[in-house]
């Protein structure tokens, strides 16, 4: 239900507007001054909801309407602000519009006029909210594209253990090289937990300046430092009832580690500059691409904090340690990026797949995703060929071609359809694309190979169109 915040220092005016808006079927929140209004905007955002329209008087004691407009826009940029005053002038209206006001109405208010203004502001706010959701969905596609895909023994073991851990409240420390999908694993654990209905809040400890990290995590009170004009919720506040993911936790300053340790031990913290003790109903997941024991030995990570974080240890394997997943991941990313870029690319040619499987992938799954996206964008045919790959990968494929052993290995439990596909594709590749020769070697007909290849192309085409039976979610 659309939520409207009415701000007026005169109680009869607030009550009259509330009655009008409730009859329109809108949800109404009231505030007597600017500071109370900002607190209510913050409170709604913490609950995951937003004030859609702010209707405020201009002339109020303390913070006036224009000051409230500026502060509200910083706190909630998409809120639609309508100013009302009995002292309306052209100059005030122009200043308000420059500051981002949606509309300007004068007192005494006419019911039809104010209702019409609110209705238009709600419609505009809904459009902005929808645009934001679409942007987040598009931006999240690339991030989610490294979610959990894999049939290798290493991946199956990891997901089995993560599935056991997810429903618990235990802290989890995820280790692994950059690009292996530690963040994706944290998101998966959150989604499988009882906290999936609340927020997963991520903090990149190495990306936030040391002087700001404490206030980002725990928030601050007004006057805590120069420029702190009001209270700010921290990431623990935002994650209340949900999960907090601390990425690259070994980059966290030691002074902040002390305060984090207290939260993990006692579930309590204070905001910067505050004296009131707050409770944290938050599950903590952490990740690092460093060796945590070495970080402890070097004094970068407190030993007591390490033991608190390391209740459960999960290790995301490097891509070179699960090479049997490369073909599956490549086809998954192909479907994702073909859809994103509106391209009709349906498969990966055998020469390109050989190059992908021969590459050492120092950047792991993230590097593979980027390579496939590049290939999809540059591809001129309906399938990715070796020529569409970066030169370094083509060199890997050529080098590997001269040392073909003729052996394939499969993890126990690999689905038969995947075994069959890899067997056929590898044999066709070994025969330089001669399907008749490959069929003779496999003891099947060439028609069977062509039929299987057509089925695979059709399946991949369905994935690109958003088939709900698309490949398993990746890491």
Higher pLDDT among residues 429 and 471, named by residue: 429
Residue 473 lies in a domain: no
Domain final residue pick, 302, 317, 332: 317
The whole-number pLDDT of residue 41 equals 86
Same domain for 78 and 113?
Answer: yes
The whole-number pLDDT of residue 409 equals 65
Higher pLDDT among residues 252 and 1, named by residue: 252
Same domain for 118 and 211?
Answer: no
CB of 442 closer than 8 Å to CB of 423? yes
CB of 103 closer than 8 Å to CB of 120? yes
CB of 71 closer than 8 Å to CB of 23? no
Q: Return mean pLDDT, the chain.
A: 83
- Residue pLDDT, tens place only, 61-77: 888 888 899 888 887 88
Residue 197 lies in a domain: yes
Same domain for 51 and 87?
Answer: yes
* Structure confidence at residue 465 as a pLDDT band (50, 70, 90): very low
Using CA atoms, how far residue 38 sits from 26, 43, 51, 96, 429, in Å, is 20, 9, 10, 18, 65
**Quick one: how far is CA 70 from the chain centroid?**
29
The whole-number pLDDT of residue 396 equals 58
φ/ψ (deg, to 5) at 335: -65, -45
Same domain for 194 and 129?
Answer: no
Q: Which residue range forms the structural domain that includes residue 373?
A: 322-464
The whole-number pLDDT of residue 142 equals 43
Highest average pLDDT, of 47-56, 121-130, 328-337, 463-472, comes from: 328-337
Of 122-131, 256-265, 334-343, 414-423, the poorest mean pLDDT is in 122-131
Same domain for 274 and 367?
Answer: no
CATH number at residue 104: 3.40.50.2300
Higher pLDDT among residues 120 and 96, named by residue: 120
- Residue pLDDT, tens place only, 301-319: 999 999 999 999 999 999 9
Residue with tokens 């045919």: 381
CB of 473 closer than 8 Å to CB of 189? no
Same domain for 294 and 352?
Answer: no
- Residue pLDDT, tens place only, 427-464: 887 777 788 878 877 888 888 888 888 888 776 555 44
The whole-number pLDDT of residue 462 equals 53
pLDDT above 80 (res 236)? yes
Same domain for 51 and 111?
Answer: yes
pLDDT above 80 (res 48)? no
**Quick one: how far is CA 106 from the chain centroid?**
43
CATH number at residue 268: 3.40.50.300
Domain final residue pick, 270, 297, 317: 317
Tell me which residue of 325, 303, 312, 290 sits closest to 146, measured CA to CA: 325
The whole-number pLDDT of residue 405 equals 44
Q: Is the dihedral of CA 451, 456, 462, 468 positive or negative?
A: positive
pLDDT above 90 (res 423)? no
Six token digits for residue 474: 């990746």
Same domain for 386 and 310?
Answer: no
pLDDT above 60 (res 114)? yes
Is the peptide bond prior to 108 cis by the omega test (within 30 degrees of 0)?
A: yes
- Residue pLDDT, tens place only, 69-109: 988 888 788 889 999 877 656 677 677 777 888 888 888 88
Same domain for 237 and 96?
Answer: no
As a whole number of angstroms, the distance between CA 338 and CA 463 comes to 10
Of 281-295, 358-372, 454-468, the poorest mean pLDDT is in 454-468
Domain tally, the chain: 3
Residue with tokens 């996206």: 373
Same domain for 234 and 120?
Answer: no
Six token digits for residue 21: 């808006």
Residue 304 lies in a domain: yes
The whole-number pLDDT of residue 253 equals 92
**Quick one: how far is CA 407 from the chain centroid?**
40
The whole-number pLDDT of residue 257 equals 94
Tell me which residue of 35, 78, 77 sits closest to 56, measured CA to CA: 35
- Residue pLDDT, tens place only, 241-256: 999 999 999 999 999 9
First-to-last alpha carbon distance for the chain, in angstroms, is 37
Strands 278-279 and 268-269: antiparallel
The whole-number pLDDT of residue 89 equals 62
Using CA atoms, how far residue 203 sits from 146, 267, 286, 460, in Å, is 19, 18, 10, 35
pLDDT above 70 (res 46)? no
Residue 245 lies in a domain: yes
Domain final residue pick, 288, 317, 346: 317
CATH number at residue 335: 1.10.8.60
Report the share of the chain in percent with pLDDT over 90: 39
Q: Is the dihedral of CA 131, 135, 138, 144 positive or negative?
A: negative
Residue with tokens 């220092």: 9
Of 45-59, 163-177, 190-204, the poorest mean pLDDT is in 45-59
The 3-class secondary structure across the chain, one letter per residue, is: CCEEEEECCCHHHHHHHHHHHHHCCCEEEEECCHHHHHHHHHHHHHCCCCCCEEEEECCCCCCCHHHHHHHHHHHCCCCEEEEEECCCCHHHHHHHHHCCCCEEEECCCCHHHHHHHHHHHHHHHHHHHHHHHHHHHHHHHHHHCCCCCCCCHHHHHHHHHHHHHCCCCCCEEEECCCCCCHHHHHHHHHHHCCCCCCCEEEEECCCCCHHHHHHHHHCECCCCCCCCCCCECCHHHHCCCCEEEEECHHHCCHHHHHHHHHHHHHCEECCECCCCCEECCCEEEEEECCCHHHHHHCCCCCHHHHHHHCCEEEECCCHHHHHHHHHHHHHHHHHHHHHHCCCCCCEECHHHHHHHHHCCCCCHHHHHHHHHHHHHHHCCCCEECHHHCCHHHHHHHHHHHCCCCCCCCCCCCCCHHHHHHHHHHHHHHHCCCCHHHHHHHHCCCHHHHHHHHHHHHHHHHHHHCCCCCCCCCCC
The whole-number pLDDT of residue 2 equals 63
CB of 26 closer than 8 Å to CB of 51? no
Residue 470 lies in a domain: no
* Structure confidence at residue 467 as a pLDDT band (50, 70, 90): very low
As a whole number of angstroms, the distance between CA 193 and CA 156 comes to 19
Same domain for 300 and 353?
Answer: no
Residue 276 lies in a domain: yes
Same domain for 406 and 367?
Answer: yes
The whole-number pLDDT of residue 419 equals 84
């Amino acid at each position: 239900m659309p939520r409207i915040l009415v701000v007026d220092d005169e109680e009869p005016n607030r009550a009259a507007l509330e009655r009008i808006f409730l009859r329109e079927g809108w949800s109404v929140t009231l505030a007597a001054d600017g500071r109370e209004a900002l607190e209510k905007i913050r409170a709604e955002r913490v609950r995951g909801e937003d004030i859609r329209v702010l209707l405020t008087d201009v002339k109020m004691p303390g913070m006036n309407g224009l000051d409230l407009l500026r502060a509200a826009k910083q706190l909630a940029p998409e809120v639609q602000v309508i100013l009302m005053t009995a002292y309306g002038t052209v100059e005030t209206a122009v200043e308000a519009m420059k500051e981002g006001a949606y509309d300007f109405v004068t007192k005494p208010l006419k019911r039809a006029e104010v209702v019409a203004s609110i209705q238009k502001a709600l419609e505009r706010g809904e459009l902005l909210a929808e645009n934001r959701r679409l942007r987040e969905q598009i931006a999240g596609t690339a991030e989610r594209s490294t979610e959990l895909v894999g049939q290798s023994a290493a991946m199956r073991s990891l997901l089995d253990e993560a599935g056991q851990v997810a429903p618990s409240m235990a802290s989890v420390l995820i280790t692994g090289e950059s690009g292996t999908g530690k963040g994706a694993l944290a998101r998966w654990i959150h989604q499988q937990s009882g906290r999936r209905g609340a927020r997963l809040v991520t903090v990149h400890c190495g990306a936030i300046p040391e002087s700001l990290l404490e206030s980002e995590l725990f928030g601050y009170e007004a006057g805590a430092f120069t420029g702190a004009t009001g209270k700010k919720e921290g990431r623990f506040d935002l994650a209340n009832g949900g999960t907090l993911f601390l990425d690259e936790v070994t980059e966290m300053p030691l002074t902040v580690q002390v305060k984090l340790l207290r939260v993990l031990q006692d579930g309590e913290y204070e905001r910067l500059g505050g004296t009131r003790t707050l409770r944290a109903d938050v599950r903590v997941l952490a990740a690092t691409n460093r060796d945590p024991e070495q970080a402890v030995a070097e004094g970068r990570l407190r030993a007591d904090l390490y033991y608190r974080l390391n209740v459960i240890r999960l290790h995301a394997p490097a891509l070179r340690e699960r090479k049997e997943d490369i073909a599956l991941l490549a086809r998954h990313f192909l479907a994702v990026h073909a859809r994103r870029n509106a391209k009709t690319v349906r498969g990966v040619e055998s020469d390109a797949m050989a190059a992908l499987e021969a590459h050492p992938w120092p950047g792991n799954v993230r590097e593979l995703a980027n390579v496939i996206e590049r290939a999809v964008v540059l591809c001129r045919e309906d399938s990715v060929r070796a020529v569409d790959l970066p030169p370094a990968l083509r060199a890997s494929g050529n080098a590997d071609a001269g040392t073909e052993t003729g052996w394939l290995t499969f993890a126990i439990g690999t689905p038969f359809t995947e075994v069959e596909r890899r067997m056929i594709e590898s044999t066709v590749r070994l025969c330089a694309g001669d399907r008749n020769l490959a069929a003779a070697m496999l003891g099947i007909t060439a028609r069977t190979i062509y039929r299987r290849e057509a089925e695979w192309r059709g399946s991949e085409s369905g994935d690109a169109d958003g088939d709900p039976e698309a490949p398993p979610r990746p890491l």
